Structure 1
């Protein structure tokens, strides 16, 4: 999985106002379990419309073809029973806000036309990763890959890499030995074991969304949930404090 470290690190600093490029967190952020369950649902204020606005707040010239990506994360995420909002935040880290290039302008290993939103198969050394026919299939590939790491058996995976790793048969045993639900933090340690900042980068993106796009205000054509209290003011110093207050 190839992601864009300079952008992600800068984002962490801008969100928290306390980190610099040289800072390394002592402990990785604790992200929620991959599988949705009672007490671990996608917050009602997370909608494709708001996620798209969030993307455009950092990438105004997004390819119109990719403007449906948030809707596909919701569609496939609901069907697979996963926290698709955090998969979306991971996608932002992996693709640098769907720019698919570094801050310097240098292209990443994965290009936009591959519809590969998680760097699946992009292992470096000339391996640019898999390509999928359309945006929806690319999102499905990402979410199926995540579901597999949650210990689920994925029927008919669309990604070759998912079929390969699932065929090794190692993930279910690893997930079982955790003796608890597999979290996105666990996932980042499997995908990028030497990158201690991976989960923190995802948490920073999530915090920025929840702080700026998850208030109780709804467009006229967007039905408001019947029970949704205003976002509380975060009081903790960790990146995930706002999320924990929103959910629990």
Structure 2
């Protein structure tokens, strides 16, 4: 039986949270963000959450993508040595994931008033892939290559999550979504690039591109360097 990407979520935020924490007690809680952003696009946010658990190893990030990238679905990590896209906040990373799912699932235009934050959304359009995968099972060999059983494994994970008994919900503070300074996780101390980028964002020297990514592997242009130096001079009062 096919499992549509589009539709209403069935799992509650509490089920999602408790299922994840049963496997990784230190995992961050973005369950409500997945439900809210998914609802905005008509995408099943609970299944997108299951996809992120699959992609990140329950938020342990054992692959090439690192926690500070806020990339919870492997967007752009197309080879074993490619880190993929980076987003300034968890909310932007989740929205990019939801947009990419939306692009695969339907040919419809994006909901009114939203901006493209998925750096690979236009690629779907140019490659004629919009609407080619309306079901999770259709993502096998597309989102992940060769990806045999990719969609099915996400659906099984989601079905397990639906069986999670829910205790009384514990109120949690809303996540920080400031596009400049939000950093949900500490950068890897063994990664000097992560430390430098995190500090530059914190100081306001970097704010990302129009799609809210930082693109750390892209060469810096002279104009971009001039902007960074100007902001640094302003910070120093010169």
Q: Is this a same-fold pair by TM over 0.5?
A: yes
Which 10-residue stretch deviates more, 156-165 or 112-121? 156-165
**Cα offset, 1:32, TM superposition:** 1.4
CA contact (8 A) 1:31 1:203 kept: no
* TM-score of the two chains, using structure 2 as the length reference: 0.63
**Cα offset, 1:125, TM superposition:** 5.1
| Higher RCO (CA-CA < 8 Å; seq separation 6+) | 1
Is 1:55 paired with 2:20? yes
The aligned counterpart of 1:170 is: 128
1:189 to 141, 166, 180: 141
Higher helix share: 1
1:61-106 deviation line (CA, Å, top 9, x unaligned): 22xxx32x111101100111111111111111000000001xxxxx
The aligned counterpart of 1:149 is: 104
**Cα offset, 1:218, TM superposition:** 5.6
When the two chains are superposed, the root-mean-square deviation of aligned CA atoms in Å is 2.2
Distance 2:131 2:38 in 1: 24
Describe the SS at the equivalent of 1:191: coil
1:126 to 64, 81, 101: 81
Q: 1:220 to 1:99 in 2, by over 3 A?
A: closer
Q: 1:206 to 1:136 in 2, by over 3 A?
A: same
Describe the SS at the equivalent of 2:78: coil
Describe the SS at the equivalent of 1:34: coil
Aligned residues: 167
1:167-225 deviation line (CA, Å, top 9, x unaligned): x05023746xxxxxx11111233223522221232123122212233xxx662789xxx
CA contact (8 A) 1:109 1:124 kept: no
1:138 to 93, 103, 112: 93
Distance 1:95 1:198 in 2: 14
**Mind listing any 5+ residue stretches in structure 1 that lack a counterpart?**
1-29, 102-107, 176-181, 223-248
Distance 1:221 1:93 in 2: 25
Distance 1:173 1:98 in 2: 29
**Cα offset, 1:48, TM superposition:** 1.5
The aligned counterpart of 2:179 is: none
2:119 to 160, 163, 187: 160
2:34 to 68, 73, 82: 73
**Mind listing any 5+ residue stretches in structure 2 that lack a counterpart?**
172-238
The aligned counterpart of 2:207 is: none
* TM-score of the two chains, using structure 1 as the length reference: 0.61
